[in-house]
Chain A
Amino acid sequence: MADRRRVNGPGSSTLPPVYDDGELDAALRRQRAPDAIRPLYLKTGVTPSASGSAYLEIEPREGEHGSGMKLTCTVHGPRSLPRSAPFSPYMVLSTHVKFAPFATKQRRGYLRDSSEKDLSTHLETALRGALIADRWPKSGVDVVVTIIEGESTRQDAVERRVEEWDVMNVLGGCITVASAAIADAGIDCVDTVSGGVAALVASKDGKDASIVLDPVALEHESILAACCVAYLPNRDEVTNLWFKGQLPSPASCNHQSLVSRAVQASRGTHGLISASLSEAIGSTQN
Protein backbone atom coordinates (compact mmCIF):
# COMPACT_ATOMS: atom_id res chain seq x y z
CA MET A 1 0.00 0.00 0.00
CA ALA A 2 1.23 3.47 -0.86
CA ASP A 3 2.45 5.72 1.92
CA ARG A 4 -0.24 8.33 2.24
CA ARG A 5 1.58 10.52 4.74
CA ARG A 6 4.29 11.57 2.33
CA VAL A 7 4.56 12.82 -1.19
CA ASN A 8 5.47 9.73 -3.14
CA GLY A 9 7.70 9.67 -6.13
CA PRO A 10 6.33 8.83 -9.53
CA GLY A 11 5.57 5.19 -10.17
CA SER A 12 7.71 4.93 -13.25
CA SER A 13 11.15 6.32 -13.95
CA THR A 14 11.58 9.84 -15.30
CA LEU A 15 14.41 11.66 -17.01
CA PRO A 16 15.79 14.94 -15.75
CA PRO A 17 15.37 17.75 -18.27
CA VAL A 18 18.44 18.46 -20.34
CA TYR A 19 18.81 22.03 -21.51
CA ASP A 20 20.69 23.07 -24.58
CA ASP A 21 23.23 25.42 -23.13
CA GLY A 22 25.02 26.33 -26.29
CA GLU A 23 28.70 27.01 -26.39
CA LEU A 24 30.46 29.56 -24.26
CA ASP A 25 32.08 31.44 -27.04
CA ALA A 26 33.69 34.78 -27.59
CA ALA A 27 30.32 36.25 -28.50
CA LEU A 28 29.37 35.94 -24.86
CA ARG A 29 31.27 39.05 -24.03
CA ARG A 30 29.90 42.30 -22.84
CA GLN A 31 28.73 44.36 -25.77
CA ARG A 32 27.10 47.12 -23.80
CA ALA A 33 29.02 50.24 -23.00
CA PRO A 34 30.72 50.06 -19.59
CA ASP A 35 28.28 52.61 -18.21
CA ALA A 36 25.11 51.08 -19.68
CA ILE A 37 22.65 49.06 -17.65
CA ARG A 38 20.48 46.33 -19.07
CA PRO A 39 16.91 47.19 -20.10
CA LEU A 40 14.28 46.60 -17.44
CA TYR A 41 10.59 45.79 -17.53
CA LEU A 42 8.66 46.75 -14.42
CA LYS A 43 4.95 46.30 -13.80
CA THR A 44 3.03 46.99 -10.60
CA GLY A 45 -0.21 45.47 -9.36
CA VAL A 46 0.39 41.97 -10.67
CA THR A 47 -0.93 40.14 -7.58
CA PRO A 48 -4.54 41.15 -6.86
CA SER A 49 -4.69 39.59 -3.40
CA ALA A 50 -1.72 41.54 -2.06
CA SER A 51 -1.85 45.18 -0.98
CA GLY A 52 0.94 45.95 -3.39
CA SER A 53 2.98 43.96 -5.87
CA ALA A 54 5.48 44.37 -8.65
CA TYR A 55 7.19 42.27 -11.30
CA LEU A 56 10.65 43.06 -12.60
CA GLU A 57 12.34 41.53 -15.58
CA ILE A 58 15.90 42.30 -16.52
CA GLU A 59 16.39 41.59 -20.16
CA PRO A 60 18.91 39.01 -21.22
CA ARG A 61 21.36 39.84 -23.94
CA GLU A 62 19.91 40.10 -27.39
CA GLY A 63 19.51 36.74 -29.04
CA GLU A 64 20.53 34.96 -25.86
CA HIS A 65 18.47 33.15 -23.32
CA GLY A 66 21.11 33.22 -20.64
CA SER A 67 21.49 36.01 -18.19
CA GLY A 68 18.16 37.60 -17.55
CA MET A 69 16.45 37.90 -14.24
CA LYS A 70 12.79 37.68 -13.28
CA LEU A 71 11.66 38.79 -9.87
CA THR A 72 8.30 39.31 -8.27
CA CYS A 73 7.49 41.07 -5.04
CA THR A 74 4.33 41.15 -2.94
CA VAL A 75 3.68 43.48 -0.04
CA HIS A 76 1.12 42.43 2.56
CA GLY A 77 -0.22 44.91 5.05
CA PRO A 78 -0.18 47.18 6.94
CA ARG A 79 -1.95 44.71 9.17
CA SER A 80 -2.25 44.09 12.87
CA LEU A 81 0.68 42.56 14.64
CA PRO A 82 0.30 39.12 16.21
CA ARG A 83 -0.79 39.12 19.85
CA SER A 84 2.57 38.01 21.09
CA ALA A 85 4.43 40.94 19.53
CA PRO A 86 5.41 43.78 21.85
CA PHE A 87 3.94 47.26 21.42
CA SER A 88 5.58 49.17 18.63
CA PRO A 89 4.85 52.85 17.93
CA TYR A 90 6.04 52.40 14.35
CA MET A 91 5.65 49.94 11.50
CA VAL A 92 7.39 46.60 11.84
CA LEU A 93 8.97 45.58 8.54
CA SER A 94 9.82 42.00 7.73
CA THR A 95 11.39 40.93 4.47
CA HIS A 96 11.67 37.51 2.88
CA VAL A 97 13.77 36.78 -0.17
CA LYS A 98 13.37 33.36 -1.72
CA PHE A 99 14.75 31.77 -4.84
CA ALA A 100 12.26 29.57 -6.61
CA PRO A 101 13.58 25.99 -6.60
CA PHE A 102 14.05 26.22 -10.36
CA ALA A 103 15.54 29.72 -10.40
CA THR A 104 19.15 28.70 -10.80
CA LYS A 105 20.92 25.83 -12.48
CA GLN A 106 21.76 24.44 -9.11
CA ARG A 107 18.39 23.53 -7.66
CA ARG A 108 17.39 25.45 -4.55
CA GLY A 109 15.71 23.96 -1.53
CA TYR A 110 12.27 24.92 -0.35
CA LEU A 111 13.60 26.20 2.97
CA ARG A 112 15.45 29.46 3.08
CA ASP A 113 19.18 28.97 3.09
CA SER A 114 21.79 31.30 4.52
CA SER A 115 22.33 33.30 1.34
CA GLU A 116 18.64 34.00 1.07
CA LYS A 117 18.56 35.10 4.71
CA ASP A 118 21.51 37.34 3.99
CA LEU A 119 19.69 38.93 1.07
CA SER A 120 16.60 39.45 3.27
CA THR A 121 18.67 41.31 5.84
CA HIS A 122 20.24 43.54 3.19
CA LEU A 123 16.84 44.24 1.68
CA GLU A 124 15.38 45.09 5.07
CA THR A 125 18.14 47.62 5.75
CA ALA A 126 17.69 49.14 2.32
CA LEU A 127 13.94 49.59 2.74
CA ARG A 128 13.99 50.68 6.37
CA GLY A 129 15.91 53.80 5.45
CA ALA A 130 13.24 54.78 2.95
CA LEU A 131 10.05 54.04 4.87
CA ILE A 132 8.31 56.58 7.09
CA ALA A 133 7.62 53.98 9.72
CA ASP A 134 6.02 56.16 12.36
CA ARG A 135 2.97 56.85 10.20
CA TRP A 136 1.77 53.30 10.78
CA PRO A 137 1.88 52.51 14.50
CA LYS A 138 1.17 49.00 15.76
CA SER A 139 1.20 47.48 12.30
CA GLY A 140 3.34 45.03 10.41
CA VAL A 141 4.29 44.84 6.77
CA ASP A 142 5.61 41.75 5.02
CA VAL A 143 7.69 42.18 1.89
CA VAL A 144 8.13 38.92 0.01
CA VAL A 145 10.46 38.77 -2.98
CA THR A 146 10.54 35.64 -5.09
CA ILE A 147 13.26 35.18 -7.66
CA ILE A 148 11.60 33.29 -10.46
CA GLU A 149 14.62 33.19 -12.68
CA GLY A 150 18.10 33.94 -11.45
CA GLU A 151 21.13 34.92 -13.44
CA SER A 152 22.88 31.61 -13.19
CA THR A 153 20.63 29.54 -15.37
CA ARG A 154 23.50 28.31 -17.49
CA GLN A 155 25.68 25.37 -16.71
CA ASP A 156 28.77 27.55 -17.21
CA ALA A 157 27.70 29.64 -14.28
CA VAL A 158 27.90 26.67 -11.99
CA GLU A 159 31.21 25.54 -13.41
CA ARG A 160 32.82 28.92 -13.16
CA ARG A 161 31.40 29.66 -9.71
CA VAL A 162 30.19 33.12 -10.59
CA GLU A 163 27.13 32.75 -8.42
CA GLU A 164 28.72 34.70 -5.61
CA TRP A 165 28.89 37.72 -7.92
CA ASP A 166 25.43 37.25 -9.35
CA VAL A 167 23.99 37.58 -5.87
CA MET A 168 24.87 41.28 -6.07
CA ASN A 169 22.68 41.73 -9.12
CA VAL A 170 19.94 39.76 -7.38
CA LEU A 171 20.06 42.14 -4.43
CA GLY A 172 19.93 45.15 -6.72
CA GLY A 173 16.87 43.71 -8.44
CA CYS A 174 15.25 42.85 -5.10
CA ILE A 175 15.63 46.43 -3.86
CA THR A 176 14.18 47.87 -7.06
CA VAL A 177 11.20 45.53 -7.23
CA ALA A 178 10.43 45.87 -3.50
CA SER A 179 10.50 49.64 -3.77
CA ALA A 180 7.97 49.58 -6.61
CA ALA A 181 5.72 47.16 -4.72
CA ILE A 182 5.79 49.33 -1.59
CA ALA A 183 4.85 52.36 -3.64
CA ASP A 184 2.01 50.32 -5.14
CA ALA A 185 0.83 49.33 -1.65
CA GLY A 186 0.53 52.97 -0.63
CA ILE A 187 3.01 52.86 2.22
CA ASP A 188 4.71 56.16 2.99
CA CYS A 189 8.30 56.43 1.79
CA VAL A 190 10.66 59.39 1.78
CA ASP A 191 11.92 58.44 -1.65
CA THR A 192 11.82 55.67 -4.24
CA VAL A 193 14.83 53.59 -3.34
CA SER A 194 16.59 51.84 -6.19
CA GLY A 195 19.39 49.32 -6.38
CA GLY A 196 22.52 49.60 -8.47
CA VAL A 197 25.57 47.42 -8.97
CA ALA A 198 29.05 48.27 -10.18
CA ALA A 199 32.03 45.96 -10.47
CA LEU A 200 35.74 46.18 -11.05
CA VAL A 201 36.58 43.69 -13.78
CA ALA A 202 39.95 42.54 -15.02
CA SER A 203 40.71 42.20 -18.70
CA LYS A 204 41.76 38.95 -20.31
CA ASP A 205 45.43 39.21 -19.50
CA GLY A 206 44.51 40.29 -15.99
CA LYS A 207 46.50 43.49 -16.22
CA ASP A 208 44.25 46.50 -16.49
CA ALA A 209 41.07 46.70 -14.50
CA SER A 210 38.07 48.81 -15.30
CA ILE A 211 34.75 49.59 -13.67
CA VAL A 212 31.53 48.49 -15.35
CA LEU A 213 27.94 49.13 -14.34
CA ASP A 214 25.40 46.32 -13.97
CA PRO A 215 27.97 43.55 -14.46
CA VAL A 216 27.06 40.08 -15.66
CA ALA A 217 29.67 37.78 -14.23
CA LEU A 218 29.66 35.43 -17.21
CA GLU A 219 30.54 38.21 -19.60
CA HIS A 220 33.82 39.00 -17.92
CA GLU A 221 37.02 37.09 -17.47
CA SER A 222 37.15 37.78 -13.77
CA ILE A 223 35.58 40.15 -11.32
CA LEU A 224 37.84 41.63 -8.68
CA ALA A 225 35.34 43.53 -6.60
CA ALA A 226 31.68 44.45 -6.73
CA CYS A 227 29.48 46.88 -4.92
CA CYS A 228 25.70 47.05 -4.56
CA VAL A 229 24.02 50.15 -3.18
CA ALA A 230 20.46 51.09 -2.28
CA TYR A 231 20.21 54.75 -3.12
CA LEU A 232 17.68 57.54 -2.58
CA PRO A 233 18.22 59.83 -5.60
CA ASN A 234 16.21 62.83 -4.44
CA ARG A 235 17.96 62.93 -1.10
CA ASP A 236 21.36 61.74 -2.28
CA GLU A 237 21.51 59.16 0.48
CA VAL A 238 22.64 55.55 0.51
CA THR A 239 20.56 53.28 2.74
CA ASN A 240 22.44 50.05 2.21
CA LEU A 241 25.90 49.30 0.92
CA TRP A 242 27.37 45.91 0.15
CA PHE A 243 30.96 45.63 -0.94
CA LYS A 244 32.60 42.40 -1.87
CA GLY A 245 36.01 41.42 -3.18
CA GLN A 246 39.53 42.77 -3.07
CA LEU A 247 40.81 45.88 -4.76
CA PRO A 248 44.25 45.60 -6.40
CA SER A 249 46.96 47.27 -4.35
CA PRO A 250 48.04 49.99 -6.79
CA ALA A 251 45.09 52.22 -6.22
CA SER A 252 43.99 52.75 -9.76
CA CYS A 253 40.52 52.54 -8.37
CA ASN A 254 39.50 53.14 -4.80
CA HIS A 255 36.41 52.13 -2.90
CA GLN A 256 34.88 55.53 -3.32
CA SER A 257 34.91 55.46 -7.09
CA LEU A 258 33.35 52.00 -7.16
CA VAL A 259 30.58 53.17 -4.82
CA SER A 260 29.94 56.27 -6.87
CA ARG A 261 29.66 54.19 -10.03
CA ALA A 262 27.15 51.93 -8.27
CA VAL A 263 25.20 55.05 -7.31
CA GLN A 264 25.26 56.04 -10.95
CA ALA A 265 23.81 52.64 -11.88
CA SER A 266 21.02 53.05 -9.35
CA ARG A 267 20.24 56.51 -10.72
CA GLY A 268 19.69 54.83 -14.06
CA THR A 269 17.42 52.25 -12.46
CA HIS A 270 15.52 54.99 -10.67
CA GLY A 271 14.71 56.67 -13.97
CA LEU A 272 13.17 53.42 -15.14
CA ILE A 273 11.15 52.87 -11.96
CA SER A 274 9.76 56.39 -11.94
CA ALA A 275 8.75 56.14 -15.59
CA SER A 276 7.04 52.82 -14.96
CA LEU A 277 5.25 54.01 -11.81
CA SER A 278 4.05 57.20 -13.50
CA GLU A 279 2.72 55.08 -16.33
CA ALA A 280 0.89 52.86 -13.82
CA ILE A 281 -1.00 55.76 -12.22
CA GLY A 282 -1.51 57.44 -15.57
CA SER A 283 -3.25 54.36 -16.96
CA THR A 284 -5.66 53.96 -14.01
CA GLN A 285 -6.98 57.45 -14.58
CA ASN A 286 -8.48 56.69 -17.94
Chain B
Amino acid sequence: MATDILPSLAIPGTILGPASKYASGPGTHIYGGNIVSSLLGNVNVTAPAKAPGPTKRLNKITAPSVEELSTISVIRRGRKREVLPDVGNTVLARVVRLMPKQAIVVIQQVGDTVLQTEWQGVIRVQDVRATEQDKVKIHESFKPGDIVRAQVISLGDQANYYLSTASNELGVIMATSDVGNDMVPISWKEFKDPDTGVSEPRKVAKPS
Protein backbone atom coordinates (compact mmCIF):
# COMPACT_ATOMS: atom_id res chain seq x y z
CA MET B 1 0.00 0.00 0.00
CA ALA B 2 1.48 3.29 -1.04
CA THR B 3 1.13 5.09 2.24
CA ASP B 4 4.09 7.33 1.53
CA ILE B 5 2.07 9.50 -0.82
CA LEU B 6 -0.37 10.40 1.97
CA PRO B 7 0.15 13.68 3.81
CA SER B 8 0.88 13.20 7.51
CA LEU B 9 -1.02 16.30 8.61
CA ALA B 10 -4.42 17.30 7.36
CA ILE B 11 -6.57 20.39 7.60
CA PRO B 12 -10.23 20.40 6.59
CA GLY B 13 -10.35 20.06 2.82
CA THR B 14 -7.06 18.23 2.33
CA ILE B 15 -7.43 15.46 -0.26
CA LEU B 16 -6.05 12.26 1.27
CA GLY B 17 -6.48 9.61 -1.37
CA PRO B 18 -8.84 8.04 -3.90
CA ALA B 19 -12.01 6.48 -2.52
CA SER B 20 -11.36 3.40 -4.64
CA LYS B 21 -8.22 2.57 -2.68
CA TYR B 22 -9.18 3.62 0.84
CA ALA B 23 -12.23 3.55 3.06
CA SER B 24 -13.44 6.68 4.81
CA GLY B 25 -12.92 6.64 8.58
CA PRO B 26 -13.65 9.13 11.36
CA GLY B 27 -12.73 12.71 10.52
CA THR B 28 -13.01 12.25 6.77
CA HIS B 29 -15.67 12.44 4.10
CA ILE B 30 -15.90 11.50 0.45
CA TYR B 31 -16.13 14.17 -2.22
CA GLY B 32 -15.63 13.75 -5.93
CA GLY B 33 -14.25 10.22 -5.63
CA ASN B 34 -11.62 11.23 -3.10
CA ILE B 35 -11.30 10.82 0.63
CA VAL B 36 -11.15 14.35 1.99
CA SER B 37 -10.22 15.34 5.53
CA SER B 38 -12.91 17.12 7.51
CA LEU B 39 -10.85 17.75 10.63
CA LEU B 40 -7.55 19.24 11.65
CA GLY B 41 -5.15 16.53 12.76
CA ASN B 42 -2.84 13.67 11.92
CA VAL B 43 -3.62 11.17 9.21
CA ASN B 44 -3.84 7.54 10.26
CA VAL B 45 -4.14 4.57 7.96
CA THR B 46 -5.52 1.39 9.51
CA ALA B 47 -4.94 -1.84 7.66
CA PRO B 48 -8.07 -3.94 7.10
CA ALA B 49 -8.78 -6.51 9.76
CA LYS B 50 -7.91 -9.85 8.21
CA ALA B 51 -10.24 -12.70 9.07
CA PRO B 52 -8.33 -15.40 10.95
CA GLY B 53 -8.07 -18.88 9.48
CA PRO B 54 -7.83 -19.99 5.89
CA THR B 55 -9.62 -17.83 3.40
CA LYS B 56 -12.83 -19.21 2.05
CA ARG B 57 -12.74 -20.56 -1.45
CA LEU B 58 -14.49 -18.22 -3.84
CA ASN B 59 -17.71 -19.73 -5.04
CA LYS B 60 -19.38 -16.47 -6.02
CA ILE B 61 -18.25 -13.50 -8.01
CA THR B 62 -18.50 -10.50 -5.72
CA ALA B 63 -17.09 -7.02 -5.75
CA PRO B 64 -14.28 -6.51 -3.22
CA SER B 65 -16.00 -5.43 -0.07
CA VAL B 66 -15.23 -2.25 1.84
CA GLU B 67 -13.55 -4.22 4.64
CA GLU B 68 -10.65 -5.04 2.34
CA LEU B 69 -9.64 -1.40 2.00
CA SER B 70 -7.40 0.41 4.43
CA THR B 71 -9.27 2.98 6.47
CA ILE B 72 -8.06 6.56 6.56
CA SER B 73 -8.94 8.57 9.62
CA VAL B 74 -7.93 12.00 10.88
CA ILE B 75 -7.33 12.29 14.61
CA ARG B 76 -6.01 15.21 16.61
CA ARG B 77 -3.48 13.84 19.06
CA GLY B 78 -3.23 15.09 22.60
CA ARG B 79 -6.70 16.60 22.49
CA LYS B 80 -9.93 15.12 23.75
CA ARG B 81 -12.62 15.49 21.19
CA GLU B 82 -16.20 15.88 22.21
CA VAL B 83 -18.30 12.83 21.36
CA LEU B 84 -22.04 12.44 21.11
CA PRO B 85 -24.07 9.46 22.30
CA ASP B 86 -25.18 7.49 19.28
CA VAL B 87 -27.66 4.67 18.76
CA GLY B 88 -26.13 1.42 19.99
CA ASN B 89 -23.57 3.00 22.32
CA THR B 90 -23.29 1.74 25.88
CA VAL B 91 -23.36 4.70 28.24
CA LEU B 92 -23.04 5.34 31.95
CA ALA B 93 -25.71 7.60 33.35
CA ARG B 94 -26.77 8.97 36.71
CA VAL B 95 -30.44 8.81 37.72
CA VAL B 96 -31.77 12.25 38.59
CA ARG B 97 -35.55 11.91 38.78
CA LEU B 98 -38.16 9.19 38.83
CA MET B 99 -41.61 9.35 37.34
CA PRO B 100 -44.24 6.55 37.34
CA LYS B 101 -43.63 5.78 33.65
CA GLN B 102 -39.99 6.74 33.18
CA ALA B 103 -36.70 7.58 34.86
CA ILE B 104 -34.78 10.71 33.89
CA VAL B 105 -31.01 10.21 33.77
CA VAL B 106 -27.99 12.29 32.83
CA ILE B 107 -25.51 10.63 30.48
CA GLN B 108 -21.97 11.10 31.74
CA GLN B 109 -19.86 8.65 29.81
CA VAL B 110 -20.11 7.17 26.33
CA GLY B 111 -18.04 4.03 25.90
CA ASP B 112 -14.75 5.01 27.52
CA THR B 113 -15.06 8.74 26.94
CA VAL B 114 -16.21 11.05 29.71
CA LEU B 115 -18.44 13.76 28.26
CA GLN B 116 -17.79 17.45 28.68
CA THR B 117 -21.45 18.37 28.53
CA GLU B 118 -24.36 16.60 30.15
CA TRP B 119 -26.96 15.03 27.93
CA GLN B 120 -30.31 14.10 29.36
CA GLY B 121 -31.72 10.66 28.76
CA VAL B 122 -34.87 8.83 29.67
CA ILE B 123 -35.46 5.16 30.50
CA ARG B 124 -39.08 4.35 29.87
CA VAL B 125 -40.83 1.67 31.93
CA GLN B 126 -41.06 -0.70 28.94
CA ASP B 127 -37.30 -0.43 28.34
CA VAL B 128 -36.20 -1.35 31.86
CA ARG B 129 -36.01 -5.10 31.34
CA ALA B 130 -36.61 -7.59 28.57
CA THR B 131 -39.18 -9.82 30.24
CA GLU B 132 -42.38 -9.16 32.19
CA GLN B 133 -42.36 -5.57 31.06
CA ASP B 134 -45.88 -4.99 32.32
CA LYS B 135 -44.87 -5.77 35.90
CA VAL B 136 -41.94 -3.35 36.00
CA LYS B 137 -42.23 -0.56 38.51
CA ILE B 138 -39.82 2.32 38.05
CA HIS B 139 -39.60 2.85 41.83
CA GLU B 140 -38.47 -0.74 42.28
CA SER B 141 -35.83 -0.47 39.55
CA PHE B 142 -33.94 2.78 40.14
CA LYS B 143 -33.39 5.43 42.78
CA PRO B 144 -32.06 8.96 42.24
CA GLY B 145 -28.27 8.94 42.48
CA ASP B 146 -27.78 5.44 41.06
CA ILE B 147 -25.23 4.90 38.31
CA VAL B 148 -26.78 2.94 35.46
CA ARG B 149 -25.17 1.18 32.53
CA ALA B 150 -27.57 1.52 29.59
CA GLN B 151 -27.72 1.34 25.84
CA VAL B 152 -28.86 4.17 23.57
CA ILE B 153 -31.84 2.99 21.53
CA SER B 154 -32.85 6.30 19.93
CA LEU B 155 -31.77 9.91 19.64
CA GLY B 156 -35.20 10.54 21.08
CA ASP B 157 -37.05 13.80 21.17
CA GLN B 158 -35.82 17.36 21.52
CA ALA B 159 -34.48 16.96 25.04
CA ASN B 160 -33.91 13.30 25.79
CA TYR B 161 -31.97 10.36 24.45
CA TYR B 162 -33.94 7.13 24.86
CA LEU B 163 -32.02 4.51 26.79
CA SER B 164 -32.70 0.86 27.53
CA THR B 165 -31.51 -1.47 30.28
CA ALA B 166 -33.22 -4.54 28.79
CA SER B 167 -30.23 -6.86 28.94
CA ASN B 168 -28.40 -8.81 31.63
CA GLU B 169 -25.30 -6.65 31.39
CA LEU B 170 -27.30 -3.42 31.70
CA GLY B 171 -28.82 -1.90 34.80
CA VAL B 172 -27.74 -0.33 38.08
CA ILE B 173 -24.02 -0.79 38.72
CA MET B 174 -23.60 1.52 41.73
CA ALA B 175 -26.20 2.35 44.33
CA THR B 176 -26.34 3.87 47.79
CA SER B 177 -28.87 2.97 50.47
CA ASP B 178 -31.28 5.29 52.28
CA VAL B 179 -28.75 5.92 55.01
CA GLY B 180 -26.03 6.67 52.47
CA ASN B 181 -23.87 3.53 52.46
CA ASP B 182 -22.61 1.91 49.26
CA MET B 183 -24.55 -1.26 48.60
CA VAL B 184 -23.58 -4.58 47.06
CA PRO B 185 -25.74 -6.56 44.63
CA ILE B 186 -27.09 -9.79 46.06
CA SER B 187 -29.44 -10.93 43.28
CA TRP B 188 -30.59 -9.79 39.86
CA LYS B 189 -33.16 -7.54 41.49
CA GLU B 190 -31.75 -6.59 44.89
CA PHE B 191 -28.96 -4.52 46.37
CA LYS B 192 -28.04 -4.97 50.05
CA ASP B 193 -26.50 -2.52 52.48
CA PRO B 194 -23.67 -4.44 54.20
CA ASP B 195 -23.87 -2.31 57.36
CA THR B 196 -27.58 -2.25 58.14
CA GLY B 197 -28.51 -5.45 56.33
CA VAL B 198 -31.46 -3.79 54.60
CA SER B 199 -31.95 -4.74 50.97
CA GLU B 200 -33.51 -2.52 48.31
CA PRO B 201 -34.99 -3.46 44.94
CA ARG B 202 -33.12 -2.43 41.80
CA LYS B 203 -32.70 -3.54 38.18
CA VAL B 204 -29.22 -4.95 38.79
CA ALA B 205 -26.61 -5.21 36.04
CA LYS B 206 -24.71 -8.47 35.76
CA PRO B 207 -21.26 -7.84 37.27
CA SER B 208 -18.67 -7.80 34.52
Contact = CB atoms under 8 A, between A and B. Distances in A.
Interface of A: 51, 77-81, 83, 85-89, 130, 132, 136-139, 183-184, 186, 188-192, 232-235, 273-274, 277-278, 280-282, 284-285
Contact of A191 (B13, B78, B79, B117): B13
Nearest to A278: B9
- What are the 10 tightest A-B residue pairs by CB atom distance, in nearest-first order? A191-B13, A189-B12, A234-B13, A188-B38, A183-B40, A87-B158, A79-B117, A186-B81, A277-B11, A192-B12
B192 interface: no
Given A130-B12, A234-B13, A281-B41, 12 more contacts: A77-B82, A80-B117, A83-B158, A138-B155, A188-B12, A190-B36, A192-B11, A192-B12, A234-B14, A234-B36, A277-B11, A284-B78
B27 to A, nearest CB: 7
A80 B119 contact: yes
Contacts of A183: 11-12, 39-40
Q: Which of A89, A138, A190, A235 has the most B CB atoms < 10 Å from its CB?
A: A138
A51 B82 contact: yes
B199 interface: no
A192 B9 CA distance: 14
Instruction: Classify the interface of chain B: helix, strand, loop or mixed.
Output: loop
B148 to A, nearest CB: 19
A281 B42 CA distance: 8
B120 interface: yes
A80 B118 contact: yes
B11 A190 contact: no
Contacts of A273: 11
Nearest to A89: B155
B29 interface: yes
B38 A132 contact: yes
A169 B127 CA distance: 56
Given A81-B158, A132-B29, A284-B78, A190 B39 contact: no
Nearest to A139: B84
20 contacts: A78-B117, A79-B82, A79-B116, A80-B118, A137-B155, A139-B84, A184-B40, A186-B81, A188-B29, A189-B12, A190-B31, A191-B12, A191-B13, A234-B14, A234-B15, A278-B11, A284-B77, A284-B78, A284-B79, A285-B77
Interface of B: 9, 11-15, 27, 29, 31, 36, 38-42, 76-79, 81-82, 84, 116-120, 155, 157-159
B39 A281 contact: no
Contacts of B117: 77-80
Nearest to A91: B84
A190 B158 contact: no
A21 to B, nearest CB: 40
A188 B158 contact: no
Contacts of B155: 89, 137-138
Contacts of A139: 84
A278 B40 CA distance: 8
Contacts of A132: 29, 38
A263 to B, nearest CB: 15
A235 B29 contact: no
A186 B39 contact: yes
Contacts of B120: 80
Contact of B13 (A85, A184, A189): A189
A77 B157 CA distance: 20
Contacts of B31: 190, 235
Contacts of A89: 155
A244 B124 CA distance: 56
Contacts of B82: 51, 77-79, 186
A231 B158 CA distance: 33
Given A183-B40, A186-B79, A186-B82, A274 B11 contact: yes
Contacts of B76: 186, 281
Contacts of B39: 183, 186, 188-189
Nearest to B40: A183
Contacts of B81: 186
A186 B118 contact: no
B12 to A, nearest CB: 4
